[in-house]
Amino acid sequence: MDVETAIRTRRTHKAFGPEPLAREELLELLELARWAPNHHLTAPWRFRVLGSEALARLKAAAGPEGAAKLDRAPTLVVVSCALGEDPIQDEEDLHATAVASYIVLLAAHARGLAGYWRTPGLLRSAEGRAAVGLPDGERFVGLLHLGRPRQVKEPPERPPVEQMTHFLD
């Protein structure tokens, strides 16, 4: 699949097959994320692939309603950004981590997999952070749900590029 097609056809999926991604598949996706542009090559992103015990801890912290949403996908990856002492560098690193997250989703789609980027408040709470071992020096960026799709999704309408583009003199 070429890049333009991947960008235009990637969708958020919330219905996944039951089988988790193999470790090798995940490592391929995360290896591609390493190529996200990042100022000074800081590689600020951190990926935590949740195993059964970490998922159980997170579900306990989430409570019944939140736990049900964690069961949507068979593979969950917590993405965070390592922070430093420089607020400008931290902001740049945060954006780079978001790009790395999108690379994971786009690469998964190009392989016929499905993905969903969530930002549950639970992972900004002390209980959620503790459940997945997220230290104080890292900022939560996203929870990536990954797996095999059980649905086909059509693209939603998007605003025209002219609506969001300004050419300045």
Q: Which residues of 68-96 are buried (b: 16+ CB within 10 A; e: fewer)?
A: ebbeebebbbbbbbbbeeeeebbebbbbb
pLDDT at site 56: 96
The tokens for 151 are 């649905």
pTM above 0.85, yes or no: yes
Cβ within 8 Å of residue 20, ≥6 positions away: 74, 75, 147
Distances (CA, A) of 88 to 33, 69, 94, 96, 137: 22, 34, 10, 12, 15
Superfamily covering domain 20-152: NADH Oxidase (3.40.109.10)
pLDDT at site 36: 96
Q: What is the CA radius of gyration of the chain?
A: 17
Supply φ then ψ for residue 54, to 5 degrees.
-65, -40
Supply φ then ψ for residue 121, to 5 degrees.
-60, -25
Q: Within its chain, how far is the Cα of 89 from the centroid?
A: 21
Nearest to 111 by CA among 15, 33, 1: 1
Q: CA 11 to CA 107: how far, in whole Å?
A: 12
pLDDT at site 157: 86
Sheet holding 45-49, edge to edge: 45-49, 75-82, 138-147, 114-118
Distances (CA, A) of 118 to 86, 89, 100: 27, 24, 15
pLDDT in tens, the chain (169 residues): 898 988 888 898 888 999 999 999 999 999 999 999 998 899 999 999 999 999 999 999 999 989 999 999 999 999 999 999 999 999 999 999 999 999 999 999 999 999 999 999 999 999 999 999 999 999 999 999 999 999 887 878 889 999 999 999 9
Domains of the chain, residue spans: 20-152
Nearest to 67 by CA among 83, 76, 81, 55: 55
